[in-house]
Structure 1
Amino acid sequence: MADLAAPAYAILAESLVKIRAQINTLHAAEAALLVMGDELAALVAARDGHTDHGEFEHRAVAAEFAAAVHESDRTMAGRISRARTLVEHYPTVMAALTAGRISQAHAAVITDAGSILTDPQSRAGYASAVLEVAETTTVGRLRSVAREFAERFADRTLDDRHQDARACRMVRVTELDDGMADLTATLPAVYASGIKDRLNQMARLVKQNEQAWADDQAHNVSGLGTEPGSGAPSGESEGESAATAPTVRSMDQIRADLFTDMLLASDPNQAATSGLTGITGIQARVQVIVPKERLSDDGNDLDANATSNVSPAILAGYGPIDTDTARYLAGNATHWEEVTVDPDTGTVLSVDTYRPNTKLRQFLRARDLHCRFPGCHTPTARCDIDHTLDAAHGGPTTSTNLAHLCRRHHTLKHHSRWNVTQARDGTLTWTSPAGTPYPERAPSAVRFRRVRGRGEPKGRDAPTGRDAPTGRDAPTGRDAPTRQNEPRVRGRTPGTDPPGSRASDPPESHHTPPF
């Protein structure tokens, strides 16, 4: 059978090689297209005499491409920059990619390692040397080879470059799924290695202690005696014994826990005795939006469909987090904001607080959650509150004319040919320089809207036709309800709705403790 399969494997492998070559060629074509767009932006800026040397025209084109393929404009700007480097500085590498001999990942490794080279002749020599290896090895193996070759052709020493690189040290967070995130620190390599080594040493000691304690517990249990023919102690089932067995953390888990405890507590030893480790050591300012159903300790009164339809707790600037963490943070909040939303449309109706604050800012924070440019997730804490229609041109300071924009997209709005309008329900419609509209719904309307279960009946419980809520009917600004007066939902006075309408149902509340 193996002899019969061998020719088939060979044919499939050969087909895979051809497909990969075609993919590589398409990546080269994409790089050439991105460079063409960037060059067109330069021509437009030069023709129009832009005083910013075309910066905003280049950003406008990046935003145009990004919106068309549903990417962040920052990501697209990075793609354009890498494409220009490949096309302009490494023509032989571009030719190899076009011919399908190397992949886009190989080309990226070559150009990244060659970033230390400034002389065209040095780049050409480096590219020639590294391509011989790139066409016959994996991306992972190429990385170290490319760096070594680049050092041979570099016109500045590693010591000189290290002094500049030290100035770029930073810490950043990358969002992951399921309430997790990567915390990345860019440090001098010796410090990073030292931190990892210290974590390894401490983790090994903790691991030994945990394992010794677990072994002692297992020995004590086994010494209690067992019933004949059973592996469990007398009066105890094997399942019960396994359930009470101590848990020994993995080395990765211990390292992560030590790292967290040492950073969130000023003294790890004191933290260990006081219990202020992990989440209890957080002394940061965050905003969490928690549906009131998630705050209840008794979740048994919700059936499966109801539980799945309850919005998750939201960490502003990140996204969904687990309920236990949200409950802990809410229980230790210094004050509360109550966000009232329409359960069917998800529209934020009002924001109230137990401690006076600027109502309009609270409303906009709860509605926007992040920058309102397509694809941008910059948290509202790092955004400007922008008048959609400029105040200088008569734009009112109301919830229907204000939205959060990060500084990057705030300036793009004012200094490029991107235009934006805002509807009464908070939807922004961005129009690109090419004339393509990109509607941007209020994030809260997406996050807070009820999602109906498969078995949930429609009919009376699902408004349709003229009874269905619309953005035009959702009150905003001064019309938004507060806890001091009865909500006027979807433009109707409670008690006057036609039979079968849900307009008189109370809106859902999401409690927001800003820490």
Structure 2
Amino acid sequence: MSELPALLPSSSPIIVSGIWEVRVAVCEFGERGRLSGLTDSELLQVAAAARRQTSWAQARELAAIAELARRRGEDDPAVGYRGLSAHEAVVEEVGAALTVTGNAAATLVHLAERLTGPLTETLGALEAGHIDLATARAISDGTENLPDDVVGRVQVAALEKASGQTSGQVRRRIKRLAERLAPQCVEERRREAIRQRRLELWESPAGTADLGLCDLPPEDAHAIYNKISAAARGVRADGDTRSLQCIRADLATQLLNGHPLPDAIQALLAQAPPTAVAAIPDAVGEQGEEHDEVIGELAGMADRQLGQVCDRVPARARSAAVAHAVARIDLRLGARRDTFCRGGDDTHGHPGYRAPAALRREIQVRHSTCVFPTCNQPSHRCDLDHTTPWRPGITCRCNLAPLCRSHHRLKQTRGWKLHQPWPGLLIWVTPAGAWYIVRPDRQ
């Protein structure tokens, strides 16, 4: 089957005037009966196009809600204590029309008013399919209560990279920008959130219940988590074969029920499964600046060479072709990388399997999170992975990167490849032949 139209690949941003072509393409190629005839790459293109169509529809929904709120505000009569304000009434009206809860309707109305007010560029990006609704919410939440001039600057900066980032990555970027541009407003927003701290309880679809402490001061939340984690690791070391997450939950339950810490630990050990039950071994328990111009040059080289591969090679053979292109890039950079890594020493890398503490810290600074493109797991909670497995791979900055346990296992899954042609510059290749470049953090 021929490739889908050029407007479909996720690497090609669409414009508002082209949304109808996307809708036609989704309808034509996305029918369930025809999906079986598409290649893996074409299926992902259809999914990406459908997602952009969804963004367009959500932008229309929010624009309609905003217009309704504006009209109700203009017609708002004076109400006494017996009636609702125009804003409260329109929230209930939206909730009834869309069959959503009052809280969900209030969130939609607030977001709609923000996107048609100070964040019109964000609404335009949503309508064009450059971002999704979660990212639009991240921009709205992150710019809440900031001065108007700061809102505009943060919005522009966030939208520059938002099309290639997850909503979590956008939130982190906005947080850094806001802290730099309006530190007093950010601090006041934090204090206000802390004043509204609370304990919440809700039921899950599995028939269980979730309990959460919300909007605690960060230092208190981290102190509680670290204390429970340290005790849970001690219980694990004493022979409890359950997962660390399970032990944390059981220990927190014991403590919140009023048991002193020593008694809670003893109770957990008494409930521990027999040691004959095999524990799941840790695959790799290690936890873990290049110049911007160099990284930009190398990433550009990778973009050009891999782009040529994807243009010329059929989708079904693309994964192997991308791997060969990465190998060519690796050869071209090999001598420069070795010189960079040796730093005047004849020995390349550390002789042992485990990285020294200084090297581990360097890798964690270079990448603050797991190096999978959409992962936000902090690097200090990740495995310090050898991109090329140990022996022939070496323990060096050019062959180490933080991977959370899930993406560490993904890297070792059939069809997935991870390359590091330059220290900190990583290239993922998926089973469908798509490739994703991850650069070092320089924020």
TM-score, length-scaled by structure 1: 0.42
Answer with 1 or 2: which has the greater Rg: 1
Ranked by relative contact order (alpha carbons within 8 Å, sequence separation 6 or more), the top structure is 1
